[in-house]
Amino acid sequence: MIADLKPYPKYKESGLPWLGKVPEHWAINRTKSSVANIVEQTTQINSGDVYVALENIESWTGRVRPQQGVNLFTGQVKRFCSEDVLFGKLRPYLAKVARLQSNGVCVGELFVLRPRDASIRSNFLELQLRAKHTIDVVSSSTFGAKMPRADWQFLGNLPLVFPSPGEQAAIVRFLDWANGRLERAIRAKRKVIALLTEQKQAIIHRAVTRGLDPSIPLKPSGIPWLGDIPQHWEALRAKYLYREVDERSIDGSEELLSVSHLTGVTPRSQKNITMFKAASYVGHRLCRPGDLVVNTMWAWMGALGVSAHAGIISPAYAVYRPLRPECIVAIYMDGLLRSMPYVSNIICRSTGLRASRLRLYPEEFFRLPVIQPPANEQQQIVQAIQGETANLKTSISRLEREIELLLEYRTRLVADVVTGKLDVREAAARLPEDASPKAPIPAEDLLSEAEPEPEAVE
């Protein structure tokens, strides 16, 4: 059905270089002519209301995991009503645009947008505002080098295209159906990736905590959450293995590195997700190959790793350098500290007001017990892990690339449909009655690879 879509019969010039031609019968209105920016502030949440912060909204999909309760915030928040569209004005390139079907309150970093009359459907407005061309234009207008924000004066004057309400409904219906199919395909691939990753982690965990020879006698590690270890291994606190270093970039020209719970320490040039770019990296932290880099705010999710690269990281991250590099094989230590027992213990050692803001401070890291085989055995373990997990890594990489292509296709499809490049009226009319409702998304599927940026760390 998607492959059969064709353009509209007649077009007109929009006068906007980023939009091009639009269907002849579509209206072009400034956002503020069709949409009201609601600023109803409060310090209280009503019974049954939900609370939405930026971190509760998934980028590019509009999926939301709202919170309920009375102690979720201090200070003023904004009220919103069911069907209002929330638009994240802080770092708008993240495309945090959502529409909830319940009343609630949200942080001030979200615009609360409400159609002025029945000629604009909220679900179509949501798609328009989250389309890539809209996000790109709004992002180009932001002010603030460290914390770029969208301005209502710009967004309010931004021209948007609107077909008739009936045609808006047809577009929403079609995209709900198409996105549902794509989402099911993506979710299926992610589940396979999760299974393969679990299998890979089991191999790594067994090797880094028990070694390669099952016949070697074991001894108590003295670490309750780890259990027995090979008799000839040591268990030392991290303070005897690492020291904290704080080296800063003079000119900001070094390679940019990212630290995540999925990939450890990697060059940003290898990432395929949108990330904030600072106006200058002068004064940011530096790390060297072999350094342990900890994403302080997300260490509880396993966002740490031993770097294989020299480069720049966030000034808010911690860098630990081996006291005796000859005794530590970097890849072994990376696998050990990112294994599930260690990540679970790091959660216990992290502190913060709420789960999403737990931090691992240096004093707690230095108390962390670290098991250490002899260096030659660490190298043997690394080689064994690499051999056993090679096929798993290949399969995971292939599936990740397939997901990346599906996401790119979805982004392009939505943009083409909401700007009238493709006519979906007939296709929407042929859909079965039950095609539009969205299936609930499992909570674990809302976790995506993300990384708090330097300026986002409080």
Q: At 282, which CATH number? A: 3.90.220.20
Looking at 379, 396, 429, the residue that finishes a domain is: 379
Amino acid at 17: P
* DSSP string across 301-340: GT-EEE-SS-EEE-TTSEEEEESSGGG--HHHHHHHHTSH
Euclidean distance between CA atoms 60 and 29, whole angstroms: 24
Q: Is the residue at 182 inside a domain?
A: no
Euclidean distance between CA atoms 417 and 439, whole angstroms: 22
Question: Is the domain of 120 the same as that of 257?
Answer: no
Question: Is the domain of 145 the same as that of 246?
Answer: no
Question: Is the domain of 355 the same as that of 241?
Answer: yes
Joined together, the tokens standing for residue 101 give 């079907």
Joined together, the tokens standing for residue 432 give 């079965």
User: What is the span of the domain harbouring residue 83?
Assistant: 27-162
pTM: 0.82
Euclidean distance between CA atoms 123 and 173, whole angstroms: 10
Q: Is the distance from CB of 39 to CB of 78 less than 8 angstroms? A: yes
Write the DSSP symbol of residue 145. S
Q: Is the residue at 148 inside a domain?
A: yes
Question: Is the domain of 127 the same as that of 222?
Answer: no
Beta-strand runs (E) in 75-157: 77-80, 85-88, 97-99, 104-106, 110-115
- Contacts of residue 47, defined as CB under 8 A and 6 or more positions apart, other chains included, come to none
Written as tens digits, the pLDDT of the chain (458 aa) is 677 899 999 999 999 999 999 999 999 999 999 999 999 999 988 888 899 999 999 999 999 987 766 566 778 999 999 999 999 999 999 999 999 999 999 999 999 999 999 999 999 999 999 999 999 999 999 887 668 999 999 999 999 999 999 999 999 999 999 999 999 999 999 999 999 999 999 999 999 999 999 999 999 999 999 999 999 999 999 999 999 999 999 998 899 998 988 888 999 877 655 555 666 788 999 999 999 999 888 888 888 999 999 999 998 899 999 999 999 999 999 999 999 999 999 999 998 876 667 889 999 999 999 999 999 999 999 999 999 999 999 999 999 999 999 999 999 999 999 999 999 999 999 998 776 555 444 544 444 444 444 333 32
Question: Is the domain of 373 the same as that of 230?
Answer: yes
Question: Which residue, among 170, 125, 183, 176, has the nearest Cα to 424 in the 3D structure?
Answer: 170
Question: Is the domain of 146 the same as that of 233?
Answer: no
Q: Is the residue at 207 inside a domain?
A: no
Question: Is the domain of 373 the same as that of 225?
Answer: yes
Question: Is the domain of 258 the same as that of 123?
Answer: no
Joined together, the tokens standing for residue 276 give 């904030």
Q: Is the residue at 150 inside a domain?
A: yes
Q: Is the residue at 423 inside a domain?
A: no
Question: Which residue, among 384, 395, 375, has the nearest Cα to 324 in the 3D structure?
Answer: 375
- Contacts of residue 22, defined as CB under 8 A and 6 or more positions apart, other chains included, come to 11, 12, 14, 28, 161, 419, 420
Give how many domains the chain has, as a whole number.
2
Q: Is the residue at 31 inside a domain?
A: yes
Looking at 379, 394, 413, the residue that finishes a domain is: 379
Euclidean distance between CA atoms 132 and 414, whole angstroms: 8
Euclidean distance between CA atoms 361 and 72, whole angstroms: 24
Joined together, the tokens standing for residue 121 give 């459907």
Euclidean distance between CA atoms 179 and 408, whole angstroms: 12
Question: Is the domain of 229 the same as that of 158?
Answer: no
Q: Is the residue at 319 inside a domain?
A: yes
Looking at 100, 129, 162, the residue that finishes a domain is: 162
Q: What distance lies between CA 438 and its chain's CA centroid?
A: 22
Question: Is the domain of 227 the same as that of 290?
Answer: yes
Euclidean distance between CA atoms 306 and 319, whole angstroms: 10
Question: Is the domain of 331 the same as that of 265?
Answer: yes
Euclidean distance between CA atoms 340 and 357, whole angstroms: 20
Question: Is the domain of 45 the same as that of 143?
Answer: yes
Euclidean distance between CA atoms 127 and 233, whole angstroms: 57
Q: Is the residue at 334 inside a domain?
A: yes
Question: Which residue, among 238, 209, 193, has the nearest Cα to 346 in the 3D structure?
Answer: 238
- Residue 325: CB atoms within 10 Å: 12
- Residue 125: CB atoms within 10 Å: 27
